C-alpha cells in the first residue's frame, strides 16, 4: 500500500460497527495501517457539513452507519454532490431484511446497546453471587433463588457464577464438620436448596492438585482419604436432614450440572 488511507466513520451512535468493518477490510490489503477518524453521535446537518468539508479538503473515504432517515438522506445527497467516495454499511442490510420479512426497521441509533430488564437482572444476580459466595453472609440465603451446599471443591462457586449470568440469584454454603451450618439454611424452602457431592477418589486427586498449586504438601490433612470420607459423610447427613435433592458432580461437565440445577430452579419457581 503506497499511501495510508483516511477513513471517516460517521455514525448517529458510537460508530463501533463501522470501525470493525473498516479494520476487517483493510486487513485484506496486507497492512493494518489506516487513519481512522470516527465521528460519533452525528445529530445535525451542520455537523455533516463540517465533517464533509474536511473530507473534501484532505481526501478520504466516508463510511457511515446512520439509521436516522432524515440525516442519512441529507448525508447521501451531500456525498453525491461532492463526489466523495463513500460506503453505506447499514442501509443495504436493513433493506434486505425489510424485503424478506416485510417489516420496517426502528431506525433508532444505538439500539443494540440499550440495556433492558434482563441485563439489569443479570448484573444484580452476579453481584449477589459474589456477595453471598462461600457462606459470607447467611442473611443472603433467605433472598437467594437457589442455594448450593457441599464440601470444598465440589464446584459450588463456579456453578453459582454460571447461573448468575442467567439472572438467577445464587448463594452457596460450604459444609465443614468443624463449623455449624447457619440457622438460615434450615429456614429456606427445601425446593430452593441443592446439595453437591463427589466421589472420594476424584476429590482426593483434586485436593492434592489444589495443595500443589498453593505450594503446600499433598500430605496435608485436607487431602487425606480419611478426612475426605469424613467430610462427605458429614455433608450427606446435613443434606438428608434438610431433605434437599443431591447431585453427584463426579466427572460431570459444569454445563451438565448447571442444566440439572436450572431444572430444579424452574420446578421450584412454579
Q: Which residues are annotated as a binding site?
A: 150-157
Task: Report pLDDT digits (tens) over 77-96.
Answer: 999 999 999 999 988 988 88
Question: pLDDT exceeding 90 applies to what percent of the chain?
Answer: 66
Q: Collect contacts of 2-6 with beta carbons under 8 A, ≥24 apart.
A: 4/33, 4/34, 4/35, 5/34, 5/35, 5/60, 5/61, 6/34, 6/35, 6/37, 6/55, 6/58, 6/59, 6/60, 6/61
Q: Which residues are annotated as a binding site for ADP?
A: 150-157
Supply the pTM of this predicted model.
Answer: 0.60
Half-sphere exposure of 131 (CA within 13 A, CB side): 13
Task: Report pLDDT digits (tens) over 160-180.
Answer: 999 999 999 999 999 999 899
Task: Report pLDDT digits (tens) over 23-42.
Answer: 888 888 876 678 999 998 89
Q: Lowest mean pLDDT of 29-33, 117-121, 186-190, name the range.
A: 29-33
Identify whether the C-beta of residue 93 lies closer than 8 Å to the C-beta of residue 67. no
Residues in the chain: 270
Task: Report pLDDT digits (tens) over 144-164.
Answer: 999 999 999 999 999 999 999
* Domains located in the chain, CATH noted: 6-113 (3.40.50), 117-269 (3.40.50)
Q: Does residue 208 carry a pLDDT above 60? A: yes
The predicted model gives 109-128 an average pLDDT of: 76
pLDDT at 171: 97
Amino acid at each position: 500500500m503506497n499511501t495510508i488511507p483516511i477513513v471517516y466513520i460517521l455514525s448517529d451512535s458510537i460508530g463501533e460497527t463501522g470501525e470493525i468493518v473498516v479494520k476487517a477490510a483493510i486487513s485484506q490489503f496486507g497492512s493494518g495501517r489506516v487513519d481512522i477518524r470516527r465521528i460519533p453521535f452525528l445529530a445535525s446537518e451542520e455537523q455533516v457539513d463540517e465533517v464533509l468539508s474536511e473530507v473534501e479538503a484532505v481526501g478520504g473515504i466516508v463510511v457511515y452507519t446512520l439509521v436516522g432517515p432524515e440525516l442519512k438522506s441529507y448525508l447521501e445527497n451531500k456525498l453525491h454532490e461532492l463526489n466523495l467516495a463513500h460506503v453505506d454499511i447499514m442501509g443495504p442490510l436493513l433493506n434486505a431484511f425489510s424485503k424478506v420479512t416485510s417489516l420496517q426497521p426502528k431506525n433508532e441509533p444505538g439500539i443494540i446497546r440499550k440495556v433492558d430488564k434482563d441485563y439489569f437482572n443479570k448484573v444484580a444476580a452476579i453481584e449477589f453471587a459474589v456477595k453471598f459466595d462461600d457462606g459470607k453472609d447467611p442473611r443472603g440465603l433467605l433472598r437467594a433463588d437457589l442455594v448450593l451446599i457441599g464440601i470444598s471443591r465440589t464446584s459450588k462457586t463456579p456453578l453459582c457464577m454460571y447461573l448468575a449470568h442467567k439472572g438467577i440469584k445464587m448463594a452457596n454454603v460450604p459444609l465443614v464438620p468443624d463449623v455449624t451450618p447457619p440457622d438460615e439454611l434450615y429456614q429456606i424452602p427445601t425446593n430452593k436448596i441443592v446439595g453437591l457431592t463427589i466421589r472420594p477418589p476424584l476429590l482426593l486427586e483434586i485436593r492434592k492438585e489444589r495443595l500443589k498449586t498453593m505450594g503446600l504438601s499433598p500430605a496435608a490433612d485436607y487431602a487425606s482419604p480419611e478426612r475426605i470420607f469424613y467430610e462427605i459423610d458429614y455433608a450427606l447427613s446435613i443434606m438428608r436432614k434438610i431433605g434437599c435433592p443431591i447431585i453427584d458432580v463426579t466427572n460431570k461437565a459444569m454445563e451438565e450440572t448447571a442444566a440439572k440445577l436450572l431444572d430444579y430452579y424452574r420446578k421450584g419457581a412454579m
